[in-house]
Structure 1
Amino acid sequence: MLSIEPFDCHWQRFEAICRHIHEQLVGMPSLRKVTSQKRGQFAMDLACIALSLRTGCLIDCISTPDPTHVFANLITGLRVAKFGSIVHVYEPTSEQSFFVNISMLFDKRTPYNKTAYVHLGPDPSSFSLVRRLRSLQAAGPPPDLIFALDSLKEVLAAQTTLPCSITIKPGLPAESAIPLAAILLEYPVAYIPTTLDSPFLSNVTLDVYECVLSIGETVHTLLKFSCPSELGQQNSDMLGKSHLIKFLTDTYLPRIRAMTLIATFQVLHTNQNLDRIAL
């Protein structure tokens, strides 16, 4: 575990943004019945994206039968200065919704170039590293993944104003939809399945990383992902515990400091064996 001592910050600004999101949720009839706890979690996630602390988040604490319409309306209501780069992205293959800071996603030409892609074989316990970080000689990400990101960029470039909601073109294969989610969520590791018919990494020892932001009594998970421990041991310079903790710290700590927040940042590491993992 790496713990960073608290540093000064404008908590009032962060709190005000969370409160603004909360008020918008309460004012929307389709989301009015969402529990206060879920509204609080949702507001924290979205505030972190609006303040450029995170690139994206999966919307899994609030469900709606019409996410494109509902979340577009929410973004419309929030479209003030801090939300100027935020869009709702809907991926129809997985039926998942994301809030994404487009400026952060495309601040580099290739948003997938710092990700390690782990190929999951048909055997529930099989896996292999198919792309080394920043290596141009190894196999790259799935072509459909690159196409989806390029298409997203083209849609944005064709608009005179930033749309509130964008739908990824239908038909994206699962082996590309899953790592696409990892890219939008800024995971250092993305899984690429060959089949959805069997458990993934069943009873394989995993390195599980969790980035935690503590603000007063509020504890918020910024990021949580896993990587097979064996890969971390075999590729310690890229996927080892020390490397990933430093990578995460170097990524998030400057962003947190830029927010001038009174907070504590931690990178938690555990080893876990699961019946299967959720992708």
Structure 2
Amino acid sequence: MPTSHHHHDLIPTVVEAVEAALSEEPGLRRISAPKRATFALDLALIALGCRCACLVDVVVVQDPEQSYANLLRTLRQKHAIFDIVQHLFESSSEQSFFVNTEQFQASTSVTDTLFVLLGRDPQLLARPPPDVLAALHALAATTPPTLPRDLTPHTIIPLAGVLLGYPVAYVPGADDGAFLAQVSLDVFACRVRAPTWEHAFLKFSCPATLAAAHPELLSPTRIVESLKTRFEARLKELGLALIVEHSTEIMDRVAL
């Protein structure tokens, strides 16, 4: 099929555009080659509509709002595909996300995400937390999309889970303790595979007790199915395979 071959050629083209733009932006120039490659691929997969958003965690820049605004301006001149990519800056945690605005506008992602309230006994919530819905509506109502300022971790952590496409998003409870320490977790690691490379796509977890209590929603089999339903078709169009690995782990501390 010639079309999929054409799509397949898009990835290197888009990645090269990002790499070239990175070398033009003073704040981003000094990133090491491996980190640059990871960043370029993450951003390319957003631009190509493989997922709604990614969190920038491979690089740290002095002035992310200015640096990433400049980067996107350069990229839009190189390739029209970047017109739908926006940088979102979350001020209180100082985290940067790149968002595919078309996917975000069209996304029914809240219906695809289950919310787990953390505490001594993690609980599956019957519906999305109202503050998370309010933040998503605020985001959708601004052009370019802008996050409300001064969100608390109670809102930011599950909101990030929704944007990143996690089937399970954690909502921190009132008690600040060590979340999920020494708790058995189902951990899901997704990778994107091409003929010549592999790339970490997303990783999240869910308390194993909840999978046992709600197997129809949270069993590992169901979660793997939901990931394939969400991501596989678009990746396949680009000649990529989705690899999902499930393991059970107990950790001293879980970064949310």
TM-score by length of 1: 0.85
Q: Distance in 2 between matches of 1:256 and 1:193?
A: 32
The SS at the match of 1:48 is: helix
The separation in 1 between residues aligned to 2:29 and 2:9, in whole angstroms, is: 25
Alpha-carbon shift at residue 81 of structure 1 (Å): 1.9
Change (3 A) 1:88 1:196: farther
In structure 2, C-alpha distance between the alignment counterparts of 1:268 and 1:42, rounded to whole Å: 22
1:179 aligns with 2:158: yes
Q: Which has the higher contact order (CA 8 A, sep 6+)?
A: 1
| More strand by percentage | 1
Asked if residue 243 in structure 1 is aligned to residue 222 in structure 2, the reply is yes
How many angstroms apart in 2 are the aligned matches of 1:233 and 1:180? 25
Q: Which has the higher helix share?
A: 2
Q: Tell me how far apart the structure 1 counterparts of residues 70 and 210 of structure 2 sit (CA, whole Å).
A: 43
In the alignment, structure 1 residue 218 sits paired with structure 2 residue 213: no
Identical pairs, percent: 36
Aligned partners of 2:35, 2:250: CA distance in 1, in Å? Answer: 28
Query: How far 1:195 moved relative to its partner?
Result: 4.2
Q: 1:217 Cα deviation (Å)?
A: 3.2
Aligned residue pair count: 250
CA RMSD of the aligned region, Å?
1.6
List runs of 5+ in structure 2 lacking aligned partners: none
Q: 1:93: Cα distance to partner?
A: 2.2
Give secondary structure in 2 for the equivalent of 1:112. helix
Q: What is aligned with 1:272? A: 249
Matched, 1:45 2:42: yes
Is 1:15 the counterpart of 2:12 in the alignment? yes
1:111 — aligned with what?
109
What TM-score, normalized by structure 2, do the two folds share?
0.92
Q: Distance in 2 between matches of 1:103 and 1:196?
A: 37
Q: Secondary structure at the match of 2:125?
A: strand
Amino acid at match of 1:88: H
> What is the CA–CA distance in structure 1 between the aligned matches of 2:249 and 2:70, rounded to whole Å?
40
Instruction: Give the drift of 1:253.
Output: 1.3
Q: Secondary structure in 2 aligned to 1:84?
A: helix
- In the alignment, structure 1 residue 128 sits paired with structure 2 residue 127: no
Q: Hey, what does 1:204 align to over in structure 2?
A: 183
* Aligned equivalent of 1:57, options 35, 47, 54: 54
Moved over 6 A (4+): none
CA–CA distance in 2 between the matches of 1:251 and 1:117?
A: 17
* Structure 1 residue 196 displacement after superposition: 7.0
- Deviation track 1:68-104 (CA, whole Å, cap 9, x = no partner) reads 1111111111123211211001111221110011111
